[in-house]
Structure 1
Amino acid sequence: MKKWTRQLCLTSVIVLSFSLAIAQEKEPADYVNPFIGASTNVKSAGNYAGLGKTFPGAATPFGMTQVSPNTITGGDNGSGYSYEHTSIEGFALTQMSGVGWYGDLGNFLVMPGTGAVVTYPGKEGKPGGYRATYDKTSEKASAGYYTVTLSDTHIQTELTATPHCGFMRFSFPQNQQSRIQIDLARRVGGTSTRQYIKVVDDHTIEGWMKCTPAGGGWGNGDGHADYTVYFHASFSKPLKDYGVWSANIPAGWSRKRDDVLSEKYQDTVAHARILKGIQEQEGDHLGFYTSFATNEKEAVLLKTGISFVSIADAKQNLEAEIKDWNFDKVHQRAHNLWNTALSKVRISGGSEDEKVTFYTALYHTMIDPRSFQDVNGNYMGGDGKPHKADGFTKRTIFSGWDVFRSQMPLQTIINPRMVNDMVNSMVTLAEENGTHYFDRWEMMNAYSGCMVGNPVVSMVTDAFAKGIRNYDAMKAYQFSKNTVEKYGNGEKGFSGPPHSISNTLEYAYSDWCVSQLAIGVAAQLAEGKERVDSNVLIPLANDYIKYNKRSQAYKQVFDTAHHWFRPRKDDGSWEPWPAEGRMKEWYGTVECNPYQQGWFVPHDIPGMIKLMGGEEKVREDLTSFFAHTPENLLWNDYYNHANEPVHHVPFLFNRLGAPWLTQQWTRDICRRAYHNAVEGLVGNEDVGQMSAWYVLAAMGIHPICPGSTEYEITSPVFNKIVIQLDGKYAKGKTFTIIAKDNSPQNIYIQDIRLNGKGQQKINTSRDGNPAELRDKYQIDYKDIIAGGTLELQMGSKPKEDTAYLKFRI
């Protein structure tokens, strides 16, 4: 009997332990740390690129709203927040992630308080204004939630979000004059230039905030951001003692970032008229307040729907997404949305910190491009008129020069519908605004022209090549062609000052993209059921020849005398060669030096290798490039992971007969450039690009040339990665990557098997040289979406392969 009793007890303990283990098992969303990268600290970064420039507030996957604390405006602080700041200006409903250039959004700034109304924000580190110091130990954030307690007033603030709404809960102390106020003029990097507010009933306000280039914002107005945020907001506590403040801004005053932050401007706002009990007001600098008595820890809630189309749509968004006052239910819903989105990739192995780093990176890749349409499908078009999306979700904020490299190729695997949406969004925008071409950096219908190249053309070509084609392909092609004709090397064959190298190389690549798109569209038409007129196919074939030839323009800025790329003047003569040589930053390049930019010939690596002097010479040069990179990988003149031009470079070793160096360096970069810390990114997040690089590299795959369907194989950080595939675009349900015997020491791939079949060989012969077979370190997109398993046998030393031994460095 005792024996059975002991066995029963032992069984109970095992069952209980197993149950507890299941209960404590973390879901992907539980690993998200929104504070990673939430710093604009230029001093720590050693460069204006900062260390992430993300925001820690609440959002939903690709949602319109981002409900977040704001500590600063303007400068290179595009997120509106930096962790080291000691005071909070307020809590806004819209933010940008990981950008500089003065930033934008940060609209509808809400601040709880007590005592008399204060109408100006004040400055970080100085007394005065409605901004408040906060208890850093109380500040917490997770996927879909943020909370902090303000030190002076002891008010706890909690934030959560739905795709189109923000929900705020403020727990007040006992006070006869508690208050919630809303600065309608607030905008990161400037100010909204006109506002309107109306008290609808004793719980509701609505209105709009117009943000034009005259008010600064994106690029201090140079980005041409011009949008209106409409809102419909409800308070849980009745509006009894309320009013509007209105600052008298003289008509001739400039209202860009530096002007708005000036003492003169702030003093004017500080002396704004307070119009008590007014129910409707339009003006140049407005705010709203409501005051009330509160008991100890009394919760007062504010829920707000926004729209970029109309007040009516903002109201409809709110009514659809937050029907009651259950804050916790909305918070849980936001968490669940993130968990579903992040569960598209399941990882095993790695440390807890690496899992946090991975899922936070994946989280950051799903903030933009955000939804730009309301629940009814309405969106504001490029013609300034409302439109209704037909069969796709209208999206905005395309950080082109950054995200075409890793972010969009990642999404073609895990979120192909979003990629399809983005192509549709760019095509409809180019049609609505009448330009019929794609610009580089789109934000809220604005063509900012930020950075260089033609990144939308890359995105369209990559999507089309991968079978993501639910859009008008001929329009997408024609607009791509128009783009490279407007912004390109043209018949001259190169670009001149001021960014001769960067432009020539990037335009050569986008010409290649158009050539691939031309032949791809032609093939699709030829395969169709209906007979295609040769008058359509022949021009496409001719375009393929024309733009493929133009893709060789990179050779026109290679100086054989100095054995590297060199900028040309408009007349074709060379710019003077500087004392620093190819190490000189901004020498014909953008945000980099020629040494860094020169590796960007992704569409013709064999041609680039030949131009540079052959495989051995290039391999030695590239090895030196990495060897001189500082341990911390912060901004530097060599492999500068803090900036995008070099993001494909570690994978070039796969094409240079030294795949173990790709494996070594990608593992090193994952370890050295990404951390579970506030300053955990070595540069700008850049709207998902920096994080997308990590997600792909940590999974063991990454493209060199978007527009091609090949991904390079490298050493995964994790032992097992299971990717959920989208049945609309993929034949398989999941694609699994397994790294056997993987560890921080076993970083080298010994064997590759795809669905049980051994490693393929590639023939590297060219130009009449003898054939040489090497192991293939690439996998095609079609093999990924077909489903199956990629098995990698890992070891502590590079693979002993005779085809590579002579290249061992």
Structure 2
Amino acid sequence: MLLFYSGITFAQANESAAPPTRTNPVDWVNPYIGTAGAGSDYGGTMPLVTTPFGMTNWTPQTRQNRISVTSYHYDDTTISGFIGTHQPAIWMGDFGYVTIVPEVDDIKTNPEERKLKFTREDERATPYYYSVVMDAGQWRKVHAEITATDHCGYLRFTFPADVRLTVLVEATRPKIAGHVEVSADRREISGFNPDRMDAHLGPLALPNFKGYFVVQFRDSWTESGTYEGSDIHRESASLSGSNVGAFATFRARDEKIVEVRVGTSFIGIEQARANLQKEIPNWDFEGVRAALRQTWNQKLGLIAVDGASDDERTIFYTGLYHALLYPRLFSEYGRYYSAFDDQVHSGVSYTAFSLWDTFRAEHSLITLIAPERVGDMMTALLQNYREGGWMPKWPNPSYTNIMIGTHADAVVAEAINKGFRGFDYKLAYEAAYKDAMTPPDDDTKHKWLDREEHTPYEARAGLTYAKTLGYVPADKTSEAASSTLEDAYDDYAVAQIAKAVGKQSDYEFFLNRSHNYELLFNPKSGFMQARNSDGSWADPGAGWTEGDSWVYTWSPMHDIPGLMKLMGGSEVFNRKLDEHFSGGHNKHDNEPSHHYGYLYDFSGQPWKTQAKVREIAAQAYSNTPVGILGNEDCGQMSAWYIFTAMGFYPLNPVSGEYMIGSPLFQKVALNVPGGKTFVISARGNSPQNLYIQSTKLNGKPLVMPVVRYEDIQRGGNLEFEMGPTPSKWASDWHPAPLPRFTQNRPQ
């Protein structure tokens, strides 16, 4: 039975005791997927309570986060607080965070000393509600609950009877100078935290940056104060310094419920209060929780699935939840703080664009499941350009020189090619043109190592050399081979923007330059290889970003037919691709490999794509805490699974084309704007019947392994006939290589 989720039914029982019957999409989300693993090479996800694309996320703090450590890990057994976090990924830092801590007996400011034990049986996590019962010793229990809105958190603590109970607000950590104030009249603790853990990875100091918070209590307290480190200042109403915070203490003979609502802002204290007033005007925890549950159900319910196992359905809807978290909202009711010029502006803003990862599929998924956000997200990138001089590559919330390429070019080009409006196309071309033609400051003075500290903004590292040589030389610039290949794709993207604004000569120039990937192909080895500034081949192991020649040889997403021709034809291409997979070279835990399973569609063997993507989906994803192979990376890993489950994938996202794989489910229905539905059905589908025998689009035979964005947006039916053996369906499709033009310079 295929279900569409429009009406929402709310469980009336105490949801902290047991999860409700799984009748709605949000009930299938398992926020623990990706929260366990060794070191930092795992999903790096957290059980976040937040809205879709919410500015501030709320999660239990089982360990103190930093770059390469998130606030929550599934294997931990203690909690030291509940953090309003802005950390988007395990390899990025947090900024402007605030932590709320329930305590009994003495006030404990040290995270290690204030930890309370818990068991998994006493914990429940959903996108809209988190609950845990913690052991406070001496047979005493503290029950913590969280729900949230776009900019605010709502926490409810139930304390045992006859204890001295305290709610501590941690404003800053050691070496971070912040401020905290206490107002008994307002029943409020407010302050700010200026920490940006990634500040050393970008060029901007941002003296005005602060994460502001307002913590309001439903009931009056009996005692309050501030602290600095381990020094407690009872009855103190204001304190500035490092490692500071404040507390409110309550006494009760009977079991005591303390309700706390937290407004956050990057504009100011008054804006944090205003955010609270707009989003949580009343003390109604159940109402806020119900509203957030409904919000998630409506968003997740845009896609309905049938014929999935319980585990597959859970992986799918958890993936949608992950994909709907980022980029995060960074504006507050018509205004936003810019981390690019350190000022407050009117307008809308987003941050946490993990573009090296997410340009591949996550943003393509957003165009389908959150099209109403796309124009504002593109506007945000262009505002970053206008205020800071460049579109960012990994804003968190300011420039960080992390990863390579200028993939904002690709995301903007995709939005333009798909017809999205609400942002300035001419400004988009101006920004993309600068990415493509202007080297970063001091380009030849730096090697541009990954995460190199205190450098100018990197943009396209080594572009000074590439404008002359056609490639980034390995003896001059770090990660040169990967940069050359990914810059070629971004040139293809810039060409599309040029075409959209009527600059035909520039379109031809950048499309020609996107062929520069060919300069790195070594015909003797049959692999891509870095080159030195004198034209010689560099060491085969040099110049790569999180990969090697096996990984990057397949990277020219915009010209797979051209790559095939370069290799010597489809037979050589297929033989090498077979060896790539059979030899263990495919690294699905990292993004450059995400499109490789779909490459056989171009080389006359689409049945191998059908088998390979099924295999990857089964091996790389599971309904377990270790259920994501590699970092989630702001939804990209999940976006791959969601697309693959539906039966297609945006191998070249800028083009608006989706390559067909092998649908995992019997039926998927995607609601698209205008009240239309695009239904994908797979007759006879099963784990054994994974091969496509024939395909129809809206009743007509589809003979190529491609479905286009406009096909989906029009609504209709994509019908697959599945079987247990390979067929020759779509094996005669041979697309042409990328064209070339005589134009050799932009106007």
User: For this structure pair, what is the TM-score category when the shorter chain's length is used for normalisation?
Assistant: 0.7 to 0.9
1:229–1:307 CA contact under 8 A, matched in 2: yes
Aligned mates of 1:105, 1:84 — CA distance in 2: 25
Q: Which moved more, 1:598-607 or 1:479-488?
A: 479-488
Contact 2:216–2:262 (8 Å) recurs in 1: yes
Q: 1:447 aligns with which of 399, 413, 419?
A: 399
- C-alpha displacement of 1:375: 2.9
RMSD: 2.0
In 1: Cα distance, 2:366 partner to 2:205 partner: 26
Residues 343-373 of structure 1 show CA distances to partners (whole Å, capped at 9, x for unaligned) of: 1111111101110110000000001111111
Q: Shift in Å at residue 789 of structure 1?
A: 0.8
For residue 228 of structure 1, the aligned residue among 201, 210, 225 is: 210
Contact in 1 for aligned 2:96/2:194 (Cα 8 Å): no
Q: Does 1:277 align with 2:235?
A: yes
**Structure 1: distance between partners of 2:651 and 2:340:** 33
Q: 1:337 aligns with which of 285, 288, 295?
A: 295
Asked whether the equivalents of residues 202 and 240 of structure 1 are also in contact (C-alpha less than 8 Å), the reply is: no
Give TM-score, length-normalised by structure 2: 0.88
Q: Which amino acid aligns with 1:174?
A: A
- The one-letter code sitting in structure 2 at the alignment partner of 1:29 is V
Do the aligned partners of 2:182 and 2:225 also contact (CA within 8 Å) in 1?
A: no
Cα distance in 1, alignment partners of residues 731 and 120 from structure 2: 57
Q: Which amino acid aligns with 1:459?
A: V
Identity %: 34
Counterpart for residue 548 of structure 1: 511
Find the aligned partners of 1:541 and 1:208 in 2 and give their Cα distance. 50
Alignment correspondent of 1:780: 708
> In the aligned structure 1, how far is the partner of 2:323 from the partner of 2:184?
38
TM, length-normalised to structure 1:
0.81
AA matched with 2:467: G
The answer to whether structure 1 residue 700 and structure 2 residue 666 are counterparts is: no
State the alpha-carbon separation in 1 of the partners of residues 253 and 322 from structure 2.
Answer: 39
Report if aligned partners of 2:381, 2:392 keep a CA contact under 8 Å in 1: no
Look up the SS of the partner of 2:45 in the other structure: coil
1:38 and 1:679 in contact (8 A); partners too: yes
What runs of 5+ residues in structure 1 fail to find an aligned partner?
Answer: 1-22, 43-47, 123-128, 247-268, 523-539, 578-583, 630-637, 760-774
Tell me the CA shift for residue 443 of structure 1: 1.6
Partner of 1:315: 273
Q: Write the deviation string for residues 30-63 of structure 1: whole angstroms up to 9, x where unpaired.
A: 1111111112523xxxxx422x110113111111
1:594 and 1:191, CA in 2 relative to 1: closer, same or farther beyond 3 A? farther
User: Which letter maps to 1:304?
Assistant: V
1:662 matched residue in structure 2? 609
* Aligned counterpart for 2:101 among listed residues 111, 119, 137: 111
Alignment partners' CA distance in 1, 2:175 and 2:393: 24
- Return closer, same or farther for 1:138/1:24 CA change in 2, 3 Å cut-off: closer
Q: Which amino acid aligns with 1:387?
A: H
Q: Aligned-pair distance for 1:106?
A: 7.5
CA change 1:219–1:660 in 2 (3 A) is: farther
Q: Which amino acid aligns with 1:49?
A: D
Measured after TM superposition, the shift of residue 432 of structure 1 is 1.6
SS of structure 2 residue aligned to 1:211: coil
Instruction: Name the counterpart of 2:359.
Output: 404
String of CA shifts for 1:68-105, please: whole Å, max 9, x gaps: 0112235654432111112222101124344324x214
5 Å-filtered alignment, 1:244-263, equals: 244-246=226-228
Return the letter of the residue paired with 2:635. G
For the residues of structure 2 that align with 1:803 and 1:568, how far apart are their CA atoms? 36
Q: Which amino acid aligns with 1:55?
A: M
- How far does residue 654 in structure 1 lie from its aligned partner after superposition? 0.4
Greater radius of gyration (CA)? 1
**Residues 367-382 of structure 1 mapped to structure 2, 5 A cutoff:** 367-380=325-338, 382=340
1:793 has 2:726 as partner: no
Q: 1:479 to 1:200 in 2, by over 3 A?
A: farther
Secondary structure of the residue aligned to 1:59 is coil
> Partner amino acid for 1:168?
L
Secondary structure of the equivalent of 2:341? coil
Query: Of residues 356, 361, 367 in structure 1, which corresponds to 2:319?
Result: 361
Q: Distance in 1 between matches of 2:71 and 2:312?
A: 27
1:320, distance to aligned residue in structure 2 (A): 0.9
CA contact (8 A) 1:381 1:387 kept: no
Question: What is the CA-CA distance between 1:736 and the residue it aligns to?
Answer: 1.0
Q: Could you tell me how far 1:696 is from its partner in structure 2? A: 0.7
Query: Structure 1 residues 751, 542: closer, same or farther in 2, change over 3 A?
Result: same
CA distance in structure 2 between the partners assigned to 1:295 and 1:56 by the alignment: 34
Partners of 2:709 and 2:600 in 1: CA distance: 20
1:593 CA drift (Å): 1.1
CA distance in 1, matches of 2:557, 2:730: 27
- Report deviation, 1:747: 0.7
Please give the residue correspondences for 1:671-690 in structure 2 after superposition, counting only pairs within 5 Å.
671-690=618-637
Q: How far apart are the structure 2 equivalents of 1:622 and 1:234?
A: 59
* Kept in 1: contact 2:178–2:191 (CA 8 A): no
Q: Give, as a single letter, the amino acid of the residue that structure 2 aligns with 1:790.
A: L
Amino acid at match of 1:651: Y
User: Which stretch of the first structure deviates more once superposed, 364-373 or 275-284?
Assistant: 275-284
| Corresponding residue number in structure 1 for 2:342 | 384
Closer, same or farther: CA 798–295 of 1 in aligned 2, 3 Å: farther
Q: CA deviation at 1:205?
A: 2.0
Q: Structure 1 counterpart of 2:680, which letter?
A: I
Aligned to 2:687, the other structure's residue is in SS state coil
Q: Distance in 1 between matches of 2:284 and 2:65?
A: 35
2:562 matches 1:607 = yes
Counterpart-to-counterpart distance in 1, 2:730 and 2:29: 44
The alignment partner of 2:645 has SS state of helix
Residue matched to 2:198:
218
Q: Which structure carries more helix by proportion? A: 1
CA distance in 2, matches of 1:325, 1:228: 27
Among candidates 383, 391, 398, match of residue 438 of structure 1: 391
User: By how many angstroms is 1:441 displaced?
Assistant: 0.6
Q: Which residue of 2 aligns with 1:500?
A: 480
Match of 1:167 in 2: 154
> Cα gap change, 1:424/1:398 in structure 2, threshold over 3 Å: closer, same or farther?
same
Distance 1:108 1:84, change over 3 A: same
Shift of 1:25: 6.2
Deviation at 1:223, TM superposition (A): 8.3
Aligned equivalents of 1:321, 1:172: Cα separation in 2: 26
Query: 1:238 maps to what in 2?
Result: 220
**1:468 equivalent in structure 2:** 420
Shift of 1:514: 0.8
Give the letter aligned to residue 609 of structure 1.
M
Counterpart contact for 2:393–2:399, Cα < 8 Å: yes
Aligned to 2:41: 49
Contact in 1 for aligned 2:55/2:328 (Cα 8 Å): yes
SS of alignment partner, residue 746 of structure 1: coil
* In 2: Cα distance, 1:555 partner to 1:709 partner: 24
Q: 1:207: how far off? A: 1.8
CA contact (8 A) 1:588 1:594 kept: no
Instruction: Establish whether residue 482 from structure 1 lines up as the match of residue 434 from structure 2.
Output: yes
Corresponding letter in the other structure for 1:462 = E
CA shift digits 1:201-228 (9 cap, x unpaired)? 251122211124xxxx137656868541
Amino acid in structure 2 at the alignment position of 1:119:
T
Distance 1:660 1:291, change over 3 A: same
Change (3 A) 1:795 1:276: same
Report the AA paired with residue 577 of structure 2. L
Q: Which stretches in structure 2 are left out of the alignment for 5+ residues?
A: 1-19, 440-459, 734-747
**Conservation of the 8 A alpha-carbon contact between 2:96 and 2:193:** no
Query: C-alpha distance in 2, partners of 1:491/1:719?
Result: 53
In structure 2, C-alpha distance between the alignment counterparts of 1:650 and 1:68, rounded to whole Å: 35
Question: Which deviates the most, 542-551 or 648-657?
Answer: 542-551
Partner of 1:719: 666
Distance 2:472 2:63 in 1: 39
Q: Which moved more, 1:157-166 or 1:558-567?
A: 558-567
Note if 1:750 corresponds to 2:703: no
Paired residue for 2:170? Answer: 183
Match of 1:516 in 2: 496
2:539 matched residue in structure 1: 576
User: Structure 1 residues 472 and 78 mapped into 2: Cα distance closer, same or farther (>3 Å)?
Assistant: farther
- 1:209 and 2:193 aligned: yes
Residue 249 of structure 2 corresponds to 291
Q: Helix, strand or coil: the match of 2:701?
A: coil
